[in-house]
Amino acid sequence: MTAKKVLIVYAHQSSGSFNAAAKDAAVEVLTAQGCTVDVSDLYVMKFKATATAEDITGEVKNAGNFCYLEETKLAWEEGKLSADITEEQRKVTEADLIIFQFPMYWFTVPAIMKGWIDRVLTMGFAYSQEKRYSHGVFKDKKAMLSFTTGSQESMFSANGINGDMNVTLWPLQNGILHYCGFQVLAPQIFWAPAYVPAEARSTMLESWRARLQGLLGEELLSFTPSDCFDLEKGFQLKPEVHENHATKEFGLTVGIHLGKPLPPNNQMKAGV
């Protein structure tokens, strides 16, 4: 692996947690390969989770009808975003790979990490109407989710009580990462480490270490290219795309399935 810059956006309150161990393993293995690794430890940083007018230095354009989207885009253009946002945007700009390390809360990321996403990935910096999805701002960067669950793997299956994990991951991987243009690596999921023996947790970490050795060379998750959609018809799939998939068993992805069965594991494994 050639030397790369890696940013780990990390959200856990305890340095003794499994998430901390997973973060530390990534730092150790990637650094040993010549990567420069930066960690944004959100709880230690006391990172502000709420997106407010305080994120803009000086006066806002329309205080009477404050629109965070528009105001932060203007502030980004004028260099008036708060220092904590600017610093994180610098890290993102320099990174070749971003790893989001977190415990899954309520089927998504913890509030402090969602706040990082809301505040750091501002319009203009991370996306625009013209630059999103496969034409996105960060199309030359990679990103991935690495997280723990509180439920067993079987509970997140198509027949499980929590529902299919692929469906759970779609808003995060497509609606955030792919939306900003990132090349998305398959997630690293640690299934319910709090409820397994210590040796099983050790095995999980060793598997993660082994994966990290070749992480940046992995095949990517597949998302439907923007060019397959008709802008003039409300970004609907073009007729020829429907025709090409008419005889296929599964739809394109979890979120765009053409009325067909969901393609199995397409948000969890590359090349499916």
Query: With 0-12 CB in 10 A as exposed, 13-18 as middle and 19+ as buried, what is 160?
Result: middle
Q: Are 133 and 223 in contact (CB under 8 A)?
A: yes
Alpha-carbon distance of 149 to 159, in angstroms, equals 17
**What pLDDT, on a 0 to 100 scale, did the predictor assign at position 65?**
94
Q: How confident is the model at residue 129, as a pLDDT?
A: 93
Indicate the fold that domain 5-218 takes in CATH.
Rossmann fold (3.40.50)
Instruction: Give the pLDDT score at 271.
Output: 75
- Domain map (residue ranges) of the chain: 5-218
Residue type, 203: T
Question: What are the pLDDT tens digits along the chain (272 aa)?
Answer: 466 999 999 999 999 999 999 999 999 999 999 999 999 999 999 999 999 999 999 999 999 999 999 999 999 999 999 999 999 999 999 999 999 999 999 999 999 999 999 999 999 999 999 999 999 999 999 999 999 999 999 999 999 999 999 999 999 999 999 999 999 999 999 999 999 999 999 999 999 999 999 998 999 999 999 999 998 899 999 999 989 998 999 999 999 999 999 999 999 999 76
pLDDT at 257: 93
Q: What pTM did the predictor assign?
A: 0.96
Nearest CA-CA partner of 68 in 89, 48, 54, 85:
54
Neighbours of 261 (CB within 10 A): 11
Question: Which residue has 């230690």 as its token pair?
Answer: 44
**Residue the block writes with tokens 């309520």:** 106
pLDDT in the model for residue 3: 66
